[in-house]
Amino acid sequence: MKIAVLMGGPSSEREVSLKSGTAVYKALIELGHDAIQIDLDLKTIVEKLKDFSPDVVFNALHGKPGEDGSVQGLLELMGIPYTGSGILASALTIDKIVTKEFLKQAGIPTPEFLSCTAAQYKKDKEKIQKQIINKLGLPVVIKAPTQGSTIGVYIVRQAGEELAAAIENALKYESRFMAEAYLDGPEITAPVIGNDQPQVLPLIEIVSHTGFYDYEAKYTPGLSEHIIPPRLPEVVISQINSLARQAYTIAGCRGFARIDFIVAQGQYPNIIEINSVPGMTATSLVPDAARAAGLDFPALVQKIIDLALNPETFTFFS
Ligand SMILES: Nc1ncnc2c1ncn2[C@@H]1O[C@H](COP(=O)(O)OP(=O)(O)O)[C@@H](O)[C@H]1O
Ligand SMILES: [Mg+2]
C-alpha cells in the first residue's frame, strides 16, 4: 500500500510527533509498504499529498494542528482515508474542558473543575483565584486546555503568587484555562483500539520519578516506569476497562486512542483526558500495552491501518 505518514508540523508537540512518525514509518517499511514521511508544512501539504496520492494517511501528528480535526477535515475533502478519529471526536478530545463537560453529562467520573477565559480572569483576578481555592481546594491543577505532553499543566500547592503564576503561564498558550481538583492516587492509562467494538489493551500504571508525569518524565528514559498490569484490585481494573470503553464510544473515537485516569485513593477511577493521537514511538504507552497483548509494534501499526480502511466504519464527514 502507498502510505503517507503525517508528522511534525508547527505544534508544541512537534518533536514528539517526529519521533512517533519516524517509528511508524520504519514499521511500515518493515511491513513492505511504499511509505513516505511528510513533515506537515501548511503551504505544501496539499501538493505533497496530491503528488504521492496515498491509499491511506497514517496520522502521527500530536497536538494542533493534526490531533484537533483540522487535518482530518482536509483529508476528508481530498478523499484520502486516514488513521484514527474523525473530525468531531478529534475536535472534542483535543479540548480538555469540552471533554470533561461531555464525560460529566454521560455520568463518567472526572475531577471537579472550573474553566475561565482570559477576559473573565483579567476583570477580577483575586475573585477568580478565591473561587478556584474555595471550590477545588489545594493542591489544584491549572491547565491550558488544548496542549499535550504536560505542556501548560501546573500543580499548584499554594494560593497567592504560585496560583497566579500558574494561571499566567497557562494563559500564554491559549485564551482560556481550566482549574482541576488534584487527585491523589495511582495514574493509569487505558489504550483502546477498534471502531464499533473497541477493545481495551492491557492497562498501564505509570510511575514517575519527577513528582508528576511531566514532559521530562515522559520522554527521558528511566524517569518513568510502566507497570503492567497496574497494582490495583481486580474490581478497579474492570471499572477502568469499562469506563475507557464507554468514554471512547461516547466521544466517537475511531482506530485507537489512549485514555488517562487517576484512581483517587487507589479506589475511584477518574478520567482526566482522552488522547486521540497517542505517542507511537517504540517505547510509548500504547505500543507497550500492545506488546503485552502479544501485538508487536509493526503489527499494531498494521492493525491501526486496517481499522482506517474498514469500509464499514470509514465514513466521510462523520
Ligand atoms: N487532576 C489531577 N490530579 C493529579 N495529577 C494530575 C491531574 N491532572 C493532571 N495531572 C498530572 O499531570 C499530567 C498531565 O496532565 P494531562 O491532563 O494528562 O495533560 P497532557 O495532555 O499534557 O498529558 C498527568 O499525567 C498527571 O501526572
Ligand atoms: Mg495526559
* 34-39 sheet: strands from edge to edge: 34-39, 2-7, 56-59
Cell of 54: 496515498
Report the CATH architecture of 2-83: 3-Layer(aba) Sandwich (3.40)
Whether 260 is a known active-site residue: answer yes
Q: Is the CB of 251 under 6 A from ligand 1?
A: no
Instruction: Report the nearest-CA residue for atom 16 of ligand 1.
Output: 150
What per-residue confidence (pLDDT) applies to 282?
A: 77
pTM: 0.96
Q: Is the dihedral of CA 307, 313, 317, 318 positive or negative?
A: negative
Residue 141, exposed/middle/buried by CB under 10 A (0-12, 13-18, 19+)? buried
Query: 59: which residues sit within 8 A by CB, 6+ positions away?
Result: 6, 66, 71, 72, 82, 83, 84, 277
> Which is catalytic among the residues 149, 241, 270, 284?
149
Q: Do 92-109+184-309 and 113-181 come out as alike in CATH topology?
A: no
Count CB neighbours of 311 within 10 A.
7
Tens-digit pLDDT string for the chain (318 aa): 999 999 999 999 999 999 999 999 999 999 999 999 999 999 999 999 999 999 999 999 999 999 999 999 999 999 999 999 999 999 999 999 999 999 999 999 999 999 999 999 999 999 999 999 999 999 999 999 999 999 999 999 999 999 999 999 999 999 999 999 999 999 999 999 999 999 999 999 999 998 889 999 999 989 999 999 999 999 999 999 999 999 999 999 999 999 999 999 999 999 999 999 999 997 899 999 999 999 999 999 999 999 999 855 433 333
What per-residue confidence (pLDDT) applies to 315?
A: 39
Whether 275 is a known active-site residue: answer yes
What per-residue confidence (pLDDT) applies to 311?
A: 56
SS in 3 state form for the chain? CEEEEEECCCCCCHHHHHHHHHHHHHHHHHCCCEEEEEECCCCCHHHHHHHHCCCEEEECCCCCCCCCCHHHHHHHHHCCCECCCCHHHHHHHCCHHHHHHHHHHCCCCCCCEEEEEHHHHHHCHHHHHHHHHHHHCCCEEEECCCCCCCCCEEEECCCCHHHHHHHHHHHHHCCEEEEEECCCCCEEEEEEECCCCCEECCCEEEEECCCCCCHHHHHCCCCEEEECCCCCCHHHHHHHHHHHHHHHHHHCCCCEEEEEEEEECCCEEEEEEEECCCCCCCCCHHHHHHHHCCCCHHHHHHHHHHHHHCCCCCCCCC
Cα distance between residue 139 and residue 156, in whole Å: 5
The answer to whether domain 113-181 has CATH 3.40.50.1820 is: no
Q: If we measure between CA atoms, which residue out of 127, 85, 46 comes closest to residue 255?
A: 85
Whether 219 is a known active-site residue: answer yes
**Angle 241-110-13 from CA coordinates, rounded to 5°:** 85
Cα distance between residue 56 and residue 5, in whole Å: 9
> Which is catalytic among the residues 258, 270, 276, 288?
258
- Which residue out of 173, 272, 273, 275 has the highest number of ligand 1 atoms within 8 Å of its CB and is therefore the one to mutate? 272
Domain ranges of the chain: 2-83, 92-109+184-309, 113-181
- Which residue out of 13, 16, 115, 141 has the highest number of ligand 1 atoms within 8 Å of its CB and is therefore the one to mutate? 141
Residue in this structure with the C-alpha cell 476497562, named with its chain if needed: 241
Residue in this structure with the C-alpha cell 511531566, named with its chain if needed: 214
> Which is catalytic among the residues 8, 13, 63, 82?
13
The answer to whether domain 92-109+184-309 has CATH 3.30.470.20 is: yes
